[in-house]
Amino acid sequence: MTTPLRRTATALTLVAALTGTTAMTIAPTAALAVPAGGYGDLVETLAPAVVFIEVTEKAQDAQSLADALPPGFPREELERRFGPMFPQQSPNDAQPQQALGSGFIISNDGYIVTNNHVVDGAETVKVKLNNDKEYDAEVIGTDPLTDIALIKITADVDLPTVPWGDSNTVRAGDEAVAIGNPFGLGGTVTSGIVSAVSRDIHSGPYDDYIQTDAAINRGNSGGPLFNADGEVIGVNTMIFSPGGGSVGIGFAVPSDLVQKVVTDLRDDGTIARGWLGVQIKPMTEEIASVLGYDSPKGAVIEDVTADSPAAKAGLEDGDIILTFADKDIADVGDLTRAVADVTPGSATKAIVWRKGKEMTIDVTVGDLAKKNA
């Protein structure tokens, strides 16, 4: 079971888990690489830019809880045998829910990255720094598809920041350090290695997670995953947990993807993604063998949506997309991400295999938001 890492104060729920008055910007160098003696110097440098987030969610009354039951749930039969599941209460009796998460400061004027599921449905968001100062935060924008959110606080001093690392250079076996707020225990540091990269756990269309065995739990949601140079290589988002706690399988959204999302959110609070308009499936071993490939690659078009950018470009059922926007397509996830990365309205090229030959097709990418509107 994969579990987002937010922790509610009333229950552990399975959902989808500065100091001083002078400016301080953290810029790790080679000198900050983890020494043989441990991570102390590194953590001391980075911790001031990691924040702890407390969210107040809208109170749920008995009716709203009942409405959240899945279709087909045998509520009437259970209540007949065991009594009311949701005793009647007045609106004044409904209590707001509290939730905790983590985040990290990316600009000295107070922009903070966290997870969408940390702030989703929030009425109020409060941010606590590691010097115990607290601020009300504004949600600038959220992206449920990557589970990333951007929030902002206003302070009377420049705030410390942490730098981005290049997640494209991360390899399995690299060192990893997580700092966050698991179960409300602020300032918690754990370490491990990168267990895998480009992990698809079937949680959404843009799965490309960094997997780590650094212990992360509920409350770590939105916190940073650092490399040994003190650079953010991912945002801790989800764990695999049969029992609810860390078993050494955690997932972080890679920093390169997060930066693109955050830049878009910071601009106007929304995300602009490209849209092609095709249903796709992986290439089979049989097709790969016929085409002379050592292994399957590319994305096979099963269906082209009428009046879509793909249809207007002349893409057809059965086409195998090998590259898109100059990016090699190894599997269907590569195509999904490549299309999303193209600015809506932009012209690009797709190289496809059609009926025994390779051909290049000009495509003007559409706007996913307008398509879903």
Q: Which residues are catalytic?
A: 117, 147, 221
**Sign of the four-CA dihedral 173, 32, 100, 142:** negative
**Sign of the four-CA dihedral 350, 353, 357, 358:** positive
- Encoded amino acid at 274, one letter: G
Instruction: Using alpha carbons only, give the angle 278, 284, 290 rounded to the nearest 5 degrees.
Output: 110
β-pairing, 320-324 vs 148-152, is unpaired
Q: Do the Cβ atoms of 207 and 223 come closer than 8 Å?
A: no
Find, among 164, 185, 170, the residue nearest to 113 by Cα: 164
Find, among 214, 274, 207, the residue nearest to 249 by Cα: 214
DSSP secondary structure string for all residues of 221-246? TT-EEE-TTS-EEEEEEEEE-SSSS-
